[in-house]
Amino acid sequence: MNGQARFGARLAAAVADRGPLCVGIDPHRELLGAWGLTDDVDGLRRFTDAVVDALAGTVAVLKPQSAFYERHGSRGLLVLEDAVGRCRDAGALVLLDAKRGDIGSTMSGYAEVLTHGHPMQVDALTVSPYLGPDSLDPAVRTARVHGAGLFVLARTSNPDAAIFQSARLADGRTVAQAVVDQVGRWNTPDWLVGDPAPDPASYADLQGRWGGGTGSFGVVVGATLSELDVDLTGLRGPVLAPGLGAQGGTAADLVRLFGPGRAVVPTVSRDVLAAGPDRAALRASAERWAADLAR
């Protein structure tokens, strides 16, 4: 693992230090306009610089959406690459929201952003399992070798997600439940697979609210679901819960859905980003969410 603690351990330590909030970096066309910025690489860079300057030193996880950088071509990806490095240098974990999903060498190629020495090395990556569980094996192997993490789409809260995710398999489980069960099989407590024993002080939050330990492989479950219709008991890893703020999810929904002991990484994007371009306002908005989540 090249001397680096596994993602699950790094995530637990970041949550203990900074709280669980994850903020999405989503520079879509409408938001650039709302900030008074041009919809080009210059506007993209100004937006990204403001978010990174405001939040990378205080937020546990930053989640840039790859599509909004890719749409600007190679120069947009250079902005993303620079931002990823600056976020990590400031102590934030970087979760690249790219929802990659393919097979064989193609999936291995997508997973290269998890490797040490990659020019855009990130801490974790979102992936899609819908080409079958074996399709993600290259990403799982890469993550294990380099101490990185994956968040696998399981039970998302977009309106028609249930068409596929709630479909039943021959054994009676839903597709979403099969995804959760598969990810659970990938997880083993970090200190049983070669990591140093956890430091008691930095793991105080992990031992309490995070249920005594978490693996490096998690699932995506929307915070706006009316009810939790998957069993997370055997997951042994974190839950990425998007949908807070503009999409209607609240801190109370996290407790309602997941209870107080689950390792949940709540994600806010538009509700924080709407406070820009003023850096102080962005930071204050993130701090309000962090305080709400801490209650």
Q: What is the pLDDT of residue 213?
A: 55
Q: What is the pLDDT of residue 95?
A: 98
Q: What is the pLDDT of residue 226?
A: 93
- Residue-wise pLDDT for 218-240, tens only, equals 999 999 999 999 999 999 999 99
* HSE toward the beta carbon, residue 48, CA cutoff 13 A: 27
Q: Per the confidence metrics, is the pTM higher than 0.85?
A: yes
* Burial class of 118 by CB neighbour count within 10 A (0 to 12, 13 to 18, 19+): middle
DSSP assignment letter at 36: T
Whether the predicted pLDDT of 211 surpasses 80 = no
Q: Where are the beta strands (DSSP E) in 128-185?
A: 149-155
235, 237, 228: which is closest to 157 by C-alpha? 228
Catalytic site residue from 18, 28, 88, 99: 99
What is the pLDDT confidence band of residue 202, given thresholds at 50, 70 and 90?
A: very low
What is the pLDDT confidence band of residue 246, given thresholds at 50, 70 and 90?
A: confident
- Residue-wise pLDDT for 167-197, tens only, equals 999 999 999 999 999 999 999 654 444 444 4
Average pLDDT in the 187-211 region?
A: 47
Cα separation, 34 vs 28, in Å, equals: 10
% residues pLDDT > 90 (the chain): 84
Average pLDDT in the 57-70 region?
A: 98
What is the pLDDT confidence band of residue 3, given thresholds at 50, 70 and 90?
A: low
| Least confident range of 258-262, 265-269, 289-293 | 258-262
Query: 62-81 burial, b if ≥16 CB within 10 A, otherwise e?
Result: bbbbbebbeebeeebebbbb
What is the pLDDT confidence band of residue 205, given thresholds at 50, 70 and 90?
A: very low
Query: Would you identify the CATH topology of the domain 7-294?
Result: TIM Barrel (3.20.20)
The answer to whether 154 and 175 have CB atoms below 8 angstroms apart is: no
% residues pLDDT > 70 (the chain): 90
Whether the predicted pLDDT of 262 surpasses 90 = no
- Residue-wise pLDDT for 139-151, tens only, equals 999 999 999 999 9
Whether the predicted pLDDT of 5 surpasses 90 = no
The answer to whether 63 and 95 have CB atoms below 8 angstroms apart is: yes
Average pLDDT in the 99-126 region?
A: 97
| Domain chopping of the chain, boundaries | 7-294
The mean of the pLDDT values for the chain is 91
Whether the predicted pLDDT of 209 surpasses 60 = no
Whether the predicted pLDDT of 60 surpasses 80 = yes
- Residue-wise pLDDT for 286-295, tens only, equals 999 999 998 7
Active site residue 99: yes
Average pLDDT in the 7-30 region?
A: 95
